[in-house]
Amino acid sequence: MGDELALIADREATVEEWAQCAGSILGGSQVRVFEHVTTQLCDPEGRGVLAYWPARYLENRRLAVATVGDAAADGAMWTDVCLPYADPVRGRAVLAAVAERVGGAIVDRSGR
């Protein structure tokens, strides 16, 4: 199973922002969208680096804080992210760049 993370921010990152951050870290990127729901970012060779789902509005911040900690207190949007088990390092770097761009925080939900 891959690493499960969440990006919590005041706004949702655009597909273009995800692709730009991935491209700057990976030397290029490919974007694959499945069923208009799941987006996978790949390196230039087509290897998956991370997948993410559309952001959701945090309707109950108190519950979110109780679930994932103080990072949820400052954000309004929650984006689920999954990194492949075989290569989580590059995905974490891309996610960190996206979080910095949107002023968000990363929460590890993997329990590791």
Predicted confidence band of residue 69 (pLDDT cuts 50, 70, 90): low
Query: 85: burial class by Cβ within 10 Å (0-12, 13-18, 19+)?
Result: exposed
Predicted confidence band of residue 98 (pLDDT cuts 50, 70, 90): very high
Work out the angle at residue 107's Cα, subtended by the Cα atoms of residues 105 and 110, and round it to the nearest 5 degrees: 160
Task: Please tell me the distance from the alpha carbon of residue 88 to that of residue 37, in angstroms, as a whole number.
Answer: 21
The beta strand positions in the chain, using DSSP E, are 3-9, 30-34, 38-42, 48-52, 56-57, 77-83, 105-108
Task: Please tell me the distance from the alpha carbon of residue 26 to that of residue 53, in angstroms, as a whole number.
Answer: 21
Question: Strand 30-34 vs strand 105-108: parallel, antiparallel, or unpaired?
Answer: unpaired
Q: What is the rounded average pLDDT for all residues in the chain?
A: 87
- Per the model's pLDDT, the better-predicted residue between 69 and 76 turns out to be 76
Q: Say if residue 66's pLDDT is above 70.
A: no
pLDDT digits (tens, 9 = 90+) for 14-51: 999 999 999 999 999 999 999 889 999 999 999 999 99
Q: Write down the pLDDT at residue 112.
A: 53
Q: Say if residue 73's pLDDT is above 60.
A: no
